[in-house]
Amino acid sequence: MHRHHRHPMKILFAALFLLTSLVSVGQQLYEKSSGLRLGHTSGLTFKKFVTEDEAVELLLSGRNEGMQFGAQYLFHEPMEFSFNDRFYLHYGIGGHIGYEKFDDLSKVLSNATGDEFIYESKTFFAMGVDASLGLEYRWLEIPATFGFDIKPYFNFIGMRHTKAKFWDAAISFKYVF
């Protein structure tokens, strides 16, 4: 008689395990998020998934005392850790457009009045390409994501005509909706 009572409990635990597994997998998908990117290029970000694992991300940011608008197409892949299924690798490519400022204090030699200093402030149109490689942690019960990324960029138009920066690293906090 004791065996008869254990059998429904096994079915109940198996059903709960299956339901929990399905819910946890389904909960790690979301449609849109918006938040902050804090790093060399800091700004407001908005991400919209166009498929289950591909998204478009827009970034309105400040960089080099200027303002830029960027867009990237990102691919997301779940990272299969045995302890957690909430980590996702993302990578992609895109571009940016905006302006940057350049401030400079230079010394000018003059025989008549001695040394003089000239302060220059210039604004330059900037346009270039961006890449992205990062890690996202999805905590959808809050609902939020937390991330770390490296976003190398290359300006092919700008204050020095061409400029590249590889270590544009940042952390991000986004609200999921």
In tens, the pLDDT along 19-63 reads 444 444 444 799 999 999 999 899 999 999 999 999 999 999 998
Same domain for 114 and 46 = yes
Burial of 15 (C-beta count, 10 Å sphere; 0-12/13-18/19+): exposed
**In this predicted structure, what is the pLDDT of residue 112?**
63
Low-confidence ranges of the chain (pLDDT < 70): 1-27, 82, 106-115, 159-161
**In this predicted structure, what is the pLDDT of residue 6?**
54
Mean pLDDT of the chain: 84
Same domain for 38 and 18 = no
Could you tell me the end-to-end alpha-carbon distance of the chain, in angstroms, rounded to an integer? Answer: 51
Same domain for 76 and 8 = no
Same domain for 68 and 83 = yes
Task: Give the rounded distance of the alpha carbon of 63 from its chain centre.
Answer: 15
Number of structural domains, the chain? 2
Same domain for 42 and 2 = no
**In this predicted structure, what is the pLDDT of residue 162?**
72
Give the ranges where the chain is alpha helix by DSSP (H). Answer: 2-27
**In this predicted structure, what is the pLDDT of residue 164?**
78
Same domain for 52 and 12 = no
Q: Look at the block and give the residue holding tokens 């400022």.
A: 101
State the residue range of the domain holding 97. 31-176
pTM of the model: 0.74
